[in-house]
Amino acid sequence: NLKIELPVRSLSNVYFDEKNGLIQMGDKTSQRYYLNVAHTKKFMQTLLVAAECKKIMDQKVTTSIRDLYYALKRTIPQTKENTFEDQSESDPIIEDVEAMLNTLREKLHLKADRKGYMAGKVVLHDSGDRINCSKMGSSGWAIPSDVEEEVIKFDDVKADYVLVVEKDAVWQRLNEDKFWKKQKCIIITGKGQPARGARRLVNRLHKEFHLPVYVLADADVWGYYIYSVIKQGSINLSFLSDRLGTPDAKYVGLTTQDVPKFGIPQNVTIKLNKGD
């Protein structure tokens, strides 16, 4: 009976490491069996993903996790069954393969959809081009999915700190005013929950240039969650917390305690819904 052994990435195998302030993965593993009705689909999916990674690595090209999903998605002939129903099925399998091989998905030649923008006092090299993030007009520099040292090399960092802004709208406002110029800082938005690229970039700027990191987020559960992920990493990607988390990050912005303190009127609040 064929099996795949892989680290458990769920809450049950994750702990908060007080000392370094990061969410870390324990050493529990689980098995995925070919001949187990409950496992067999995931077993197939794992092999499909691993084989496709091998193929693109042999071809010396890269692909995106979305393209990988499309490349592997098909309806199994004579059935109504798809190999993958949507990308939310293939993405966790990619993370499984990463964790299993103790590697980064970038090393498997995979990229993700990009999300997030940066502007400010940084000059960097991206795939051979020199990019001055203080000359990027109204849109800023689009943060690529892979910001590892092989792709992004910092050239000239003249900032005093990094400001991570939850909302793109707020980021655009700050960029319009060239806030990063007046304040000598770098402004980054992840457009909501930042993708790995933006989190890794913050982590690198903090580690390599000792820049303080501030997170400007909403005073609600989503804002705090985004802050916590930037600071401590996430449960899902606990095996990458060293690279993605920035434990020294500080929260800036309104807090719920500020509401009575500054006499903020109750009629600007929004009630929680079930999702919150």
Q: Which residues bind its own copies (CB under 8 A)?
A: 61-64, 66-67, 70, 73-77, 80, 82, 111, 113-114, 117, 125-131, 135-144, 146, 151, 167-170, 172-173, 176, 191, 266-271
User: Would residue 214 show up in a list of annotated catalytic residues for this protein?
Assistant: no
Please report, as a single letter, which amino acid is at residue 256: T
* Residue 169 Cβ vs its own copies, minimum distance, rounded to whole Å: 3
Output 11 or 76, the one with its CB closest to its own copies.
76
Which residue is it, tokens 């203080």? 134
* Residue 140 Cβ vs its own copies, minimum distance, rounded to whole Å: 7
Q: Which of 70, 117, 224, 251 is catalytic?
A: 70
Question: Would the CA dihedral through 212, 213, 218, 222 be positive or negative?
Answer: negative
DSSP string, 215-261: EE--SSHHHHHHHHHHHH--STTGGGHHHH--TT-EEES--TTHHHH
* Residue 90 Cβ vs its own copies, minimum distance, rounded to whole Å: 13
Output 28 or 55, the one with its CB closest to its own copies.
55
Crossing angle between the packed helical segments 65-72 and 87-101, to the nearest 10 degrees: 110
Output 141 or 227, the one with its CB closest to its own copies.
141
Quick check: 6 and 29 in contact, CB under 8 A? yes
Output 123 or 235, the one with its CB closest to its own copies.
123
Provide the annotated active-site residues: 70
